[in-house]
Structure formats: structure tokens, C-alpha cells
């Protein structure tokens, strides 16, 4: 069924009262001035990434627009990013003016515990202020504890594949719950562990670039254990906390209706979507779904999407996929939050369409019984998109990286209308 057919099925009532509307960011991508495993890796790899850009991206239709930036090593250094560390109040003012009633952000572990066992009170106080600034603006803080970056001392102990990782991570989680728990209800332990497992260990393209089956399997185990231990650590401090982890699900379907395509789609679905969840057992108070990718798979593993619409990164835009993912049986058991969904779109040509179409499919799933309680667009601001650097523009708000001026994109106002009427029919 394509999205036009959805018209036939729609019944565009409103969203439930109290639905959480907002957007998400992560510390390393917006704050600026972070010092962690990623910032160090960026310095060592910026030249190489700039040299590889042409080969990786010259197939994109916007290649001429991004070429100069993508071939400039400076693009690959997160540096001051959006300076959100100093400008969070201004940024939250914008989110508030757009009607957001929730904001998801991450705490930067390397700031909090820059050396093993040494807690930086000043940085804890910073996040206390961030949380207070959200409450003052009527926004619920949704706090991520690990959005991929780790302190350098943890990196030197072997990073996320170290057997010690779960213990150290849970200790940090416990500390955050003690320090901030009075003002935070929603905790997300890990953001998209499978993205790191795949990119760092299966493909070997993200830090620490350890491409190996052994490390891949090890990372599934250590990260799942880290989530579980952090879950119990937070729970012990805060009885009423809502705790989960941000799961990226890729909508995998067989390209043709034959046995082999079906088999390969099921195998992909298992490794990408099911295995990690299985390892975490019942340590979820809610499910956090993050949706970007559709994979129509043909045996022995080729992805053949229809690609009717693409983002600036060449990722297929396939709103219907979110519906099929929400309809998985596990999602009818607990509240669900869409904690990320977004696209790179520098010209803001597709963002309004993208948000509305995804919300239509989310709404349909809700009408069919899925208890979705929030939608967080990725991202509030343009930001540092990991190994791609600054050229992909995901923001509701555009950043001029020279002046750091913020400019609200038209699509953000369209999203604000939906929020205001709490409905797709404004
Ligand atoms: C997600 C990440 C987020 C951002 C978006 C585009 O996978 O969680 O940090 O990079 O993709």
C-alpha cells in the first residue's frame, strides 16, 4: 500500500489529550566543546573522510550543493557545533514558541565523569539548569543517558565491548537518577545500540572501527547488559521512573514473495530489530521507536527500495513503514513513544510532507489500538551528523554555522499547527 492509498483508510480525529509533542537532540551533536571518544576520532579521521566524500556522495542529486563542504576536513570536526551548551535557553524558547511540550536531550557522560569515579558537580549543575529551563517552559524532559559517546577513560578500558562497561554505565545512571531524579520522569538508557553495533563493529566505520564478528556479538551482550543494569539502578532510586531504551527499527520486507527473499528479510529483521530487544528481557516501562529506514530485501541481501522520495542523504522516505513497525505484537503491550523520526532536507522542501505522512500512519496504528503517547521529530536544530559532519540538515530550526544564528524553518510552523490543534486536521 503506498501512502496515497492511506487516504482511503484515514479517519483524522485528534490525538489524545496529553500527547507528547516535541523534538530530540543529543549532546555531542549540538552542545559543542565535548571531549570524548568521538571528538578524538574526528580529529584523526577528518582528512580521510573529506577525501572519501566524493566516492561516497557524488551519486546524490544535491552533490554540487554539498561538495565544497563535504570535501572540507573542517566539516568532520564537531567543534563548537551549535553552541547549544551555552544557548539552550534560546533554543528552548524556540521550541516553546512552536508549542512543544516535551524535549528529548542527552547528558554527556564525559562531562559528568571526565575521569573514572570523579564526578563534576559543575556539569551536573549544568544539566540541572537545562532540566529546570525545560520545566519553566512547560516542556517535559526526556533524558537520554548514552547517545553513543563515551569518556576517554572508558574508551581506554575497551569501550562498549569491555565487560566492565555495564557496571560503569549503571553507576553513572544511578548517579544521574540520584542527582536529577526529582525532576525527571522519563529516562532513556541507551540510544540506538544497534546503530553502534552495526557501524562500529559489523561495518567498522565508526569509532573504534573494530570490524569483527567477535566484537559485534560482544557489543550486543555488553550493551544489553548495560541497559538492564542501568534500568535496575535507576529503578532502585526512583520508583516511578519510566525507563526504556531508544530502539531504531528498520522496516524489513522481502522484495518478492518467494521463500529466499522471505528468509533473508527475516534474518535481517532478527539481527537489526529483534535480537537486542530479546537480550534486554522485560526491562522496559515503555517502547521507544526510532524510525528512518525501509529495506526491501532481495536474496542474497541486496536492498532494492522503490526510492520514490529521498532525503538529502539519499535515504528513502517511506512513511508507511512506521505503521507496520508499530503493529508488531510487542508494541501493543506497553506505551510507545516515537523518540526519533526525521530527515535531512536543507531546502525544507519535503519536511512538512514527511511529518504529516508519518503522523497519519502513526495515527492509523493508534486507531487500531497501539498506545502511542508521543512523537519527537529529529531534530530541533541542524546539527553534527556523526561521520557525515555538518552538511545534512535535519533541523526544524536552521543553524547558520558562521554566526550561530537560529532561523525557524517553515515546516516547523506547520508542525506547530498540528501540535496546537492536537490533530492532523488543523
Ligand atoms: C539517528 C541518531 C541521531 C541522528 C539521526 C539522524 O540514528 O540517533 O543521533 O544522527 O539518526
Atom of ligand 1 nearest to the CA of 392: 6
Dist. CA 195 → ligand 1 center (Å): 9
Handedness of CA 295, 296, 298, 303 (dihedral sign): negative
Rounded CA separation 342/44 (Å): 29
pLDDT at residue 7, rounded to an integer: 45
Nearest to 208 by CA among 147, 167, 153, 160: 160
Using CA positions, which residue lies closest to atom 5 of ligand 1? 378
Write the CB contacts of 21 (distance below 8 Å, at least 6 apart in sequence): 99, 100, 101, 102, 374, 375, 418, 419
Residue 38 near ligand 1, beta carbon < 6 Å: no
Query: Which secondary-structure segment (H or E) carries 266?
Result: helix 259-269
Using CA positions, which residue lies closest to atom 9 of ligand 1? 26
Residue 42 near ligand 1, beta carbon < 6 Å: no
Q: List the grid coordinates of 364.
A: 492509523
Dist. CA 293 → ligand 1 center (Å): 11
CA atoms within 13 A on the CB side of 223: 32
Q: Rg for the chain (alpha carbons), in Å?
A: 20
pLDDT at residue 349, rounded to an integer: 98
Residue 192 near ligand 1, beta carbon < 6 Å: yes
What are the backbone dihedrals phi and psi of residue 146, each rounded to the nearest 5 degrees, phi first?
-140, 105
Dist. CA 25 → ligand 1 center (Å): 9
Parse the chain into domains and list their residue ranges: 3-421
pLDDT at residue 2, rounded to an integer: 44
For residue 55, cis peptide bond before it (omega within 30 degrees of 0): no
- Ligand 1 pocket test, candidate residues 340, 354, 387, 389, most atoms within 8 A of CB: 340
pLDDT at residue 188, rounded to an integer: 99
Write the secondary structure of 183-219 as one string of H (helix), E (strand) and C (coil): HCCEEEEEECHHHHHHHHHHCCCCCCCCCCHHHHHHH
pLDDT at residue 358, rounded to an integer: 98
Residue 191 near ligand 1, beta carbon < 6 Å: yes
Top CATH class of 3-421 equals alpha beta
Catalytic residue among 174, 320, 340, 352: 340
Beta-ladder partners of 338? 289, 375
What are the backbone dihedrals phi and psi of residue 336, each rounded to the nearest 5 degrees, phi first?
-120, 135
Q: Helices (DSSP H) in 13-145: which residue ranges?
A: 27-30, 37-57, 63-70, 84-97, 109-112, 121-136
Atom of ligand 1 nearest to the CA of 29: 9
pLDDT at residue 425, rounded to an integer: 85
Q: What is the pLDDT along the chain (426 residues), one digit of tens a residue?
A: 344 444 434 455 699 999 999 999 999 999 999 999 999 999 999 999 999 999 999 999 999 999 999 999 999 999 999 999 999 999 999 999 999 999 999 999 999 999 999 999 999 999 999 999 999 999 999 999 999 999 999 999 999 999 999 999 999 999 999 999 999 999 999 999 999 999 999 999 999 999 999 999 999 999 999 999 999 999 999 999 999 999 999 999 999 999 999 999 999 999 999 999 999 999 999 999 999 999 999 999 999 999 999 999 999 999 999 999 999 998 989 999 999 999 999 999 999 999 999 999 999 999 999 999 999 999 999 999 999 999 999 999 999 999 999 999 999 999 999 999 999 986
Dist. CA 146 → ligand 1 center (Å): 13
Dist. CA 85 → ligand 1 center (Å): 19
Atom of ligand 1 nearest to the CA of 386: 10
Rounded CA separation 275/241 (Å): 25
Asked whether 329 and 274 are in contact (CB, 8 A), the reply is no
H helices then E strands: how many in the chain?
Answer: 16, 13
Whether 414 is catalytic is no
pLDDT at residue 6, rounded to an integer: 43
Write the CB contacts of 329 (distance below 8 Å, at least 6 apart in sequence): none
pLDDT at residue 8, rounded to an integer: 39
Amino acid at each position: 500500500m503506498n501512502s496515497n492509498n492511506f487516504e482511503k483508510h484515514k479517519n483524522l480525529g485528534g490525538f489524545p489529550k496529553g500527547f507528547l509533542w516535541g523534538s530530540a537532540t543529543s549532546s555531542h551533536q549540538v552542545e559543542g566543546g565535548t571531549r570524548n571518544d568521538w571528538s578524538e576520532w574526528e580529529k584523526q579521521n577528518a582528512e580521510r573522510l573529506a577525501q572519501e566524500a566524493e566516492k561516497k556522495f557524488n551519486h546524490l542529486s544535491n552533490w554540487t550543493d554539498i561538495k565544497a563542504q563535504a570535501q572540507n576536513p573542517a566539516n568532520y570536526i564537531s567543534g563548537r557545533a551549535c553552541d547549544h551548551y551555552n544557548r539552550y535557553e534560546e533554543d528552548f524558547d524556540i521550541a516553546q514558541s512552536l508549542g512543544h511540550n516535551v524535549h528529548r536531550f542527552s547528558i554527556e557522560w564525559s562531562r559528568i565523569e571526565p575521569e573514572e569515579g570523579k564526578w563534576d558537580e559543575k556539569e551536573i549543575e549544568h544539566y540541572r539548569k537545562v532540566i529546570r529551563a525545560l520545566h519553566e517552559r512547560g516542556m517535559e524532559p526526556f533524558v537520554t543517558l548514552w547517545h553513543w559517546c563515551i569518556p576517554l577513560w572508558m574508551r581506554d578500558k575497551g569501550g562498549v565491548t569491555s565487560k566492565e562497561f555495564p557496571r560503569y554505565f549503571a553507576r553513572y545512571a544511578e548517579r544521574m537518577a540520584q542527582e536529577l531524579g526529582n525532576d525527571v520522569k522519563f529516562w532513556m538508557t541507551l540510544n540506538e545500540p544497534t546503530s553502534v553495533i552495526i557501524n562500529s563493529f559489523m561495518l567498522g566505520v565508526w569509532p573504534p572501527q573494530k570490524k569483527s564478528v567477535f566484537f559485534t556479538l560482544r557489543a550486543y551482550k555488553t550493551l544489553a547488559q548495560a541497559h538492564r543494569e542501568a534500568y535496575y539502578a535507576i529503578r532502585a532510586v526512583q520508583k516511578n521512573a519510566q525507563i526504556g531504551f531508544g530502539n531504531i527499527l528498520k522496516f524489513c520486507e522481502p522484495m518478492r514473495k518467494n521463500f529466499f527473499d522471505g528468509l533473508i528479510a527475516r534474518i535481517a529483521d532478527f539481527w537489526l530489530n529483534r535480537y537486542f530487544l530479546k537480550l534486554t528481557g522485560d526491562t522496559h516501562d515503555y517502547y521507544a521507536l526510532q524510525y528512518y529506514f525501509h529495506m526491501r530485501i532481495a536474496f542474497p541481501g541486496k536492498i532494492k527500495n522503490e526510492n520514490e522520495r529521498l532525503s538529502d542523504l539519499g535515504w528513502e522516505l517511506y512513511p508507511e513503514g512506521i505503521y507496520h513497525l508499530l503493529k508488531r505484537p510487542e508494541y501493543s503491550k506497553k506505551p510507545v513513544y516515537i523518540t526519533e523520526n526525521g530527515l535531512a532536507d536543507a531546502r525544507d522542501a519535503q519536511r512538512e510532507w514527511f511529518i504529516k505522512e508519518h503522523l497519519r500512519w502513526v495515527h492509523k496504528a493508534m486507531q487500531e489500538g497501539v498506545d502511542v503517547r508521543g512523537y519527537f521529530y529529529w531534530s530541533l536544530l541542524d546539527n553534527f551528523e556523526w561521520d557525515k559532519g555538518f552538511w545534512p540538515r535535519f533541523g526544524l530550526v536552521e543553524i547558520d554555522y558562521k554566526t550561530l544564528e537560529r532561523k525557524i524553518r517553515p515546516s516547523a510552523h506547520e508542525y506547530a499547527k498540528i501540535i496546537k490543534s492536537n490533530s492532523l486536521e488543523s
